[in-house]
Structure 1
């Protein structure tokens, strides 16, 4: 009966608008929730077939979809491990409860999080989410891991008590030797240059480089390298000859080996073997920069080297490519993990969980782990958080519309009730 279908349509309208009000109230309640993805309610008409000129109202139904691919604005913070994804991709996380219970925690996904090291060294949020990543090798490189499974991901754990020491492997020398001293018949004493290096235990040792005019030819010097770790023994010796022509005067003309390893003319360096391993010492290429011989004064210019003494952990940060970097008070920085970005074909099809986390399912499609910035994914921002994607003004407007639509459907039901009452009164 047509009047009955009107009643059913009014009831379905009440139910549909109640569902829309529920999503609006959820959105407004989470308007200040970091990384919240708003819920959108869509209305769909239901059509019932009619015959003989009669019409039956079908009513309306609703579907709710969480717009996970919709991003909120990014805001700056003062915490290096406040993380947000600038564009497509999600951060892999796990529950701290599952992590502490042992075993393999279930991977979840989120677009932002304020992570800090807890008392056990895990990068966690206040809501109990642990950031996950691939562990790096001891040299900071990250091996190739499978991209279609989360089995290789580990909760990011920073050893708060670990000390760091990086041995010196490269030294660059710059110095000026006095040209007046390298003349046959001139008696001149040696010039010393001391360079501190760090061994593989973080201990500081000294290389003493002694430059002595040979006296056998003009512009010719002997360079001896002594190591304090070997009780001051000479570990390498070379004969240096400098150019005195008008165009390239003062630059290296040749380097001849006496003891040690041969001079590499391409790199402009010699390699010495100390107890902690080889150290490459750059003295300059032939005719190029590095050691030089000009004037009458010995001048030690800037000397640069790598390596660090023993340092304690002070902070951790995540760069744009997802590398988790531990920083030590010695100035040393180590890559300890890499955080990939997770992507699925249908973001909005994922299952929503508490604390702005999501899990892939059949509707979203299988996930894939990308390096941040590769494929369809964007990069990771530190010192940033994603705000809620909710626009309160829009939600309030929708709430007023929903309220009026709800009242209108209630009026339909009231009218149908009055008409049915009239029909009942006919037989009186």
Structure 2
């Protein structure tokens, strides 16, 4: 290699180290940029003329080595709409160029999303999050594109199901029994038309001062809970249990214990309330096991449910309500207190509510918490993967563009998870970058030394020729 070639090689070294210095500078500058992926420098030698016994080190070429696929640290922010991808994947965003929202789809790991004045989820560089907007009631997709969360509300839901589990006392303590009358309650003929209570006449009820007084004396309190009309208006449902038949296992045929359930026609079970028989015979064998009536729906796994037809409270028609008793949810065991003991009591209705706060689940579903204490999904974040994420083309704002090398976007997390209330930090480590900075400075100075030495050698050669 000639002295001139040595100088050219040193120049390539200076160029390569300058390029590396530029990458290091950018990495240090973006050490705290959310979602930033550092750019390392890869050096490659260029082969010069060589023979079997003659080889010379040639110039060097510097190229970028991308770390787009390398995870950065997750940092908690406490902002519910912030999202970090733990694993592979990219958020799909769009830089809006007009009010129509038209623009190119870009991909980013920057998840510092917040709600702007128009209700859109936007990150710190103006990237509007793309995905699916959902109907909070049905969970169905209402639109795809820019995620917009504004003025979200959850309409009221009518109560259609009550989950109930309880133990009824084998010997109930009622006002009548406390006075010495422990005989079962005799259901008036006007209350029910079928002895099995499988086909109640909904126009029949315990009504009138005398009948209601006798009923209250012979029954025990059941569960009370708020249920909701079709418009989400709450009404209070009060119930009472009345034992209408004692068990007689030695009789022919043997008799099981039978209870009837009644509910009040007005909220709070005022003194003027009528009491409506729900129309099912709740039977128990001698061991206290519940025997579902013929009208009950019993699934293969033993879950039993009965229908309370046309529930009406305070004149508001709630409609049919299914009382789900589960498997063994209703029992009749001895209880010293002589009262019904409720272990499960929930219902599926609720009042209308407005959006109070948001959270993000591990699969990227954005969940709204409403003022009626209900939660419902309101959107899903658009997340994609690439076969070769390092083949993406970097754009400003922490965004990336699809290229032929990256392959097309593949929808889904592909094993990754979303961590709400966090953002992914830069994967550029300052300590590592400073060590590379020193090494690059030394390499640059060494290349300068090669140039100055080569220049001195050239000067000495020219002086010798003079």
TM-score (normalised: structure 1): 0.83
SS at 2:22 equivalent: helix
Structure 2: unaligned runs, 5 residues or longer: 187-213, 249-256, 268-272, 312-316
Using a 3 Å threshold, how does the CA distance of structure 1 residues 396 and 103 change in structure 2: closer, same or farther? closer
More displaced stretch, 348-357 vs 174-183: 174-183
Alignment correspondent of 2:427: 389
Q: Which residue is 2:296 aligned to? A: 263
Q: 3-state DSSP class of the match of 1:335?
A: strand
Conserved? CA contact 1:85–1:112, under 8 Å: no
Residue 12 of structure 2: aligned partner: 12
Is the contact made by 2:9 and 2:60 (CA closer than 8 Å) also made in structure 1? yes
Is this contact kept in 2: 1:346–1:364, CA < 8 A?
yes
Q: CA deviation at 1:291?
A: 5.4
Contact 2:305 2:325 in 1 (8 A): yes
Does structure 2 conserve the Cα–Cα contact (< 8 Å) formed by 1:323 and 1:339? yes
- Tell me which residue corresponds to 1:136: 134
Whether the 8 Å contact between 2:36 and 2:110 is mirrored in structure 1 is no
User: CA 1:50–1:227 in structure 2 vs 1: closer, same or farther (change >3 Å)?
Assistant: same
Aligned partner of 1:176 in structure 2 is: 168
What are structure 1's unaligned runs of at least 5 residues? Answer: 146-151, 257-261
Cα root mean square deviation, aligned: 3.2
Partner of 2:453: 415
Mean Cα deviation higher: 159-168 or 314-323: 159-168
Question: Partner of 1:114: helix, strand, or coil?
Answer: coil
Residue in structure 1 matched with residue 332 of structure 2 by the alignment: 292
CA distance in 2, matches of 1:86, 1:277: 47
Matching residue of 2:397: 355
2:119–2:150 CA contact under 8 A, matched in 1:
yes
The 1:224–1:51 alpha-carbon spacing in structure 2 relative to 1, beyond 3 Å, is closer
Aligned match of 2:444: 406
1:205 Cα deviation from its structure 2 partner: 2.5
1:65 and 1:314 mapped to 2: Cα distance?
45
Pair 1:217–1:18, CA change in 2 (3 A): closer
Aligned partner of 1:332 in structure 2 is 374
Q: Which residue of 237, 241, 259 maps to 2:283?
A: 241
1:377 corresponds in structure 2 to 415
Change (3 A) 1:348 1:17: same
Deviation string 1:166-204 (CA, Å, 9 cap, x unpaired) is 332321233635635673588753445443212232111
Q: 1:165, 1:214 → 2: CA distance?
A: 37
Aligned equivalents of 2:148 and 2:386: distance in 1?
26
- Output the CA distance in 1 between the equivalents of 2:33 and 2:323: 55
Contact (CA 8 Å) 2:260, 2:278: kept in 1 or not? no
Q: 1:227 to 1:67 in 2, by over 3 A?
A: farther
Closer, same or farther: CA 51–420 of 1 in aligned 2, 3 Å: farther
What's 1:149 paired with?
none
Alignment partner of 2:355 out of 307, 313, 317: 313
Distance 1:284 1:56 in 2: 84
Going from structure 1 to structure 2, the CA distance change for 1:58 and 1:204 (only over 3 Å counts) comes to: same
CA distance in 1, matches of 2:274, 2:18: 86
Deviation sequence 1:212-271 (CA, Å, 0-9, x none) = 444698733333456659x9795842223333x2xx23x433435xxxxx3113432112
Pick from 406, 410, 415 the counterpart of residue 368 of structure 1.
410
Query: Aligned residues, how many?
Result: 403
For the pair shown, the structure with the greater C-alpha radius of gyration is: 2
1:328, distance to aligned residue in structure 2 (A): 0.6
2: CA distance, partners of 1:124 / 1:20: 33
Structure 1 pair 190–50 and aligned structure 2 pair: CA distance change class (3 A):
closer
Deviation per residue, 1:27-68 (Å, 9 max, x gap): 111112222111111111112225798877641111012210
Q: Is the 8 A contact 2:72 2:427 kept in 1?
A: yes
Aligned partner of 1:259 in structure 2 is none
Deviates more, 1:132-141 or 1:348-357: 132-141
Indicate if the aligned counterparts of 1:242 and 1:293 stay in contact, CA closer than 8 A: no
Matched, 1:85 2:94: no
Q: Is the contact made by 2:158 and 2:349 (CA closer than 8 Å) also made in structure 1?
A: yes
